[in-house]
Structures are given as C-alpha cells and as structure tokens.
Structure 1
Amino acid sequence: MVRTMLRTIMESAGDISVAGEASDGDEAVRLARDLRPDVVLMDIRMPRADGLTATQRLGALDRPPKVVVLTTFDLDEYVRTALLHGAVGFLLKDAPAADMLTAVRSAASGDAMLSPKVTRRLLHHFTDTDVRRRRTEAENRLRVLTGKEREVLVAVGGGLSNTDIAASLYMSESTVKTHVSRILTKLALTNRVQAAILAHRAGLLD
C-alpha cells in the first residue's frame, strides 16, 4: 500500500520516473545495483535487511544513489544513523505529497532535505550539549566565510531551498549554488544538513 501510494505521488510529477520497487533492503540494494537510480526512497523497518543497513550498502556502490529515508518513526537514533550512512534526506510518511516530491528533486540536484520536525530534533541533539564550547568552535570555523556566504548559510540553516534563497537574497539560483558549494568546501562539509547544524551551533539563527 505504501509503495503504491509513493508510486502514484512520484508518477504525478512529469519530471520523475519510478525505475523500480523493492519489498526489503536486500532487494533494494540489488535493484539499485542493476537499475542505477538517481534517488532511492528508503523505508526504515523492512524484513531481511532494514533501511539503515540497506542505506549503508548503497553508499558502497560504485555510483551510489542519493537516499531519502521515509519512515513513520522520527526517533533520533534513526536520523543520526541514516545521516551517518549517507542519507541526504529524512521525511516522515505523513509528510505532504509536495514535500516528498521536493525531497526527491532536492536529492537529485545534490541538496539535502529533512522534515522540519526531524530537523528541530536533530539540531537540538547537536546543540544542547556543551553549548558554549561548541558555539565558540563553530564561530571560529565560520571566520573563513565572506559576508555573502554567511547570509547564504543562514538561509540554508533556515531550511530554504536554493530557489527560495535566490529570491530572498536577490541573486540567481546558479549564484546560490556556487555560494553553497564554496561554503561546503571552505568548511569541509559534505551536505547542507551539516551546514545547517553548524549555523545553529554558531548561533546564526538565534
């Protein structure tokens, strides 16, 4: 039922094609190896190999797909483990269809997306321990950024897409992508989620 619902949502978008479906983690990895999809929507609780294990195995492929974890569970250990294994998005199954489509598109374009509820819990975990030390460390790391890059980082930390950032800061979307890429490189980060966490640690969104 869930897969049917997801297929219906994905196929309603003209720019997304469903390459295949899997009933468990083992099948997901096997199909991904054969079909080479750009994005995989991964459930967490499945028979044989669960979604977290499958996500880790997908990351070891020669051309790993972008993984968006989709689940009814928003427990922190799932979020942290999924991100550790390379997931670039984390959505709850009760997310609106538009958010699911946005998550797939964002993953395909190299962005990351977390549901707002999950993001709040994740950021709280990363910022509630030894706050003062973490904030000082984060502030020091951000000194390498230009003023415009800091503005873009604040927008990323606020969960804005590249399109929304471009509109709010009056710049082209390609310029935003360039700034985001430079931010990640300068800060030695791999994705926007890590950038958002660092922005919160530094107090940029206080």
Structure 2
Amino acid sequence: MKIKTSILTFLLFTLLTSCSSDKLTTSKAESLFITCQAGENLIKTNTSSYGIIERSDSYKKRNGNFIESYKKLEKEGLYTVGELQRIKRSYIMKDRYEVNLTPKAKEFLISSKKGFRGEISGKFRICEYTFGSIEEIHEIPEKNIADVRVKFVRINETPFFREAHEKLNPKEVFKQVKYKKTNDGWKLCN
C-alpha cells in the first residue's frame, strides 16, 4: 500500500510540475493564437473593373476578348453587361460596354475607386483564410522566443474565386509566427 501511495504522489507531483512548466505546448500556442486572432479571418481579394469600360482594338488583340469574363459573371448573376458600342477616340476604335454590379456582387465588394471616363476599379472578396492548427513549435531559449508554424485553411470562396486564383490561394497556407516568453509566460499579442 505504501508503494502505491508514493507512486500516486510522484505522479501527481509530475503532473503538477509539467502543467506549470515554461515550455510552450501546442495547446497553449493554439489558445494564445485564437485569443489574439479574436475570430478574425484573413480576407483575400481580387480587383475587377466595372462601370463604363472601354478597350481598344489593339488591347483586344494583345489580351483577347475581355468581355468574356464579364459574360461568365453575368451568367452567375454578378454583373449586368450592356450592349456593345463602337466608339472612335483620337483615331482609335474602341469597344465600350456599361457593366453594372448586381446586389449579389455588392455583397462581396470591399472598396471601389473611380477611374478615368467612368470606369470603376472594385476590390472584391474572393475567399478567406481561418486558423487551422499549430503544426510545429521551435523554442529558442537563449532569445526567449519560439518560432511557431501555423496552418491556415481556405474557406468561404465567393463567386469571384476562379481557377486562376487557386495557385495564389491554395487550400492550406503555412505561416511562421514568433511567440515571446515574458515573466508572465508566453505572449503573442499585447
């Protein structure tokens, strides 16, 4: 019986000292990160023009028919595209379209900036990244810091998200984050 009591005492002591150790654990790093992030997701955007859009014939030769992408978004209920107007400016022939946002598209509009001759440059939300997990912790005791590898996961893809965005915005993204060790324990944000 005496042996069992001493083993239990030893296990309890080990458990208590390990809980109060200064080591940055995965659960502690995760807790600090979630607290600092406070439910905010990283928003990724893409720029698209709307309003009165004019493109020259030489532009179309170099870049292809620009209106095709607008027609695809019109089918998804994001834009309304007006009729083609051929205009001549300074001896240059141009295609002119009036492209308007639908209420559905306005939900994803973050900001806009009026440009030349009625063209508006809009910044649209294409997806978000949220905290996934703590992947790796590398403590550097002599500097009182830890490099922590954090995984973010892509969520909430909008209709503006295209296959072309996949390369720049993969399903998972990893980021190195520095944690500081203070007299009050590990800190990530102030």
TM-score interval, normalised by the smaller of the two chains: under 0.3
Give 1 or 2: higher helix fraction: 1
Q: How high is the TM-score relative to the length of structure 1?
A: 0.18
- Name which one, 1 or 2, has greater alpha-carbon Rg: 2
Give 1 or 2: higher strand fraction: 2
Q: How high is the TM-score relative to the length of structure 2?
A: 0.19
